[in-house]
């Protein structure tokens, strides 16, 4: 599945980082927002997707992130400049739209 981390997701995540008491950490990660968007899990249907530094966990199963996604997360978490990018995430067919 093609995941597009757009400027919109980067801006949205950065906006949420600055808000106090915003408890859902996965909403502060542009990669997590992009994966949820690709899966059609937005708003009240966004549960079940968590992104870590090496994997994305979807419905309790881990899927390894490619190098460019891991590098983006590292840079983003360290407040380094980041740009929009895309990556392929190997998922079972049941997640295809």
For the stretch 20-74, pLDDT in tens is: 444 455 567 899 999 999 998 865 555 678 888 899 999 889 999 999 999 999 9
- How do strand 55-58 and strand 85-88 relate by DSSP bridges? unpaired
Between the alpha carbon of residue 6 and those of residues 20, 30, 33, the distances in Å are 24, 8, 10
**Residue 42: inside a domain:** yes
For the stretch 5-16, pLDDT in tens is: 999 999 988 887
Q: Residue 92 — very low, low, confident or very high, per pLDDT cuts 50/70/90?
A: very high
Distance CA 45, CA 27 (A): 13
**Residue 81: inside a domain:** yes
- Please report the pLDDT score of residue 17 as a whole number: 65
Q: What is the span of the domain harbouring residue 19?
A: 2-92
Number of structural domains in the chain: 1
What do you get for the CA distance between the two ends of the chain, in Å?
A: 9
- CA 4, chain centre distance (Å): 9
**Residue 97: inside a domain:** no
- Please report the pLDDT score of residue 96 as a whole number: 80
């Amino acid at each position: 599945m093609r995941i597009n981390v757009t400027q919109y997701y980067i801006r949205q995540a950065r906006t949420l980082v600055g808000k106090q008491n915003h408890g859902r950490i996965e909403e502060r990660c542009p990669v997590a927002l992009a994966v949820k968007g690709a899966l059609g899990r937005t708003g009240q249907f966004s549960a079940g997707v968590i992104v870590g530094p090496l994997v994305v966990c979807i419905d309790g199963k881990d899927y390894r992130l490619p190098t460019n996604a891991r590098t983006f997360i590292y840079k983003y978490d360290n407040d380094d400049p980041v740009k929009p990018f895309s990556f392929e995430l190997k998922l079972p067919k049941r997640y295809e739209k």
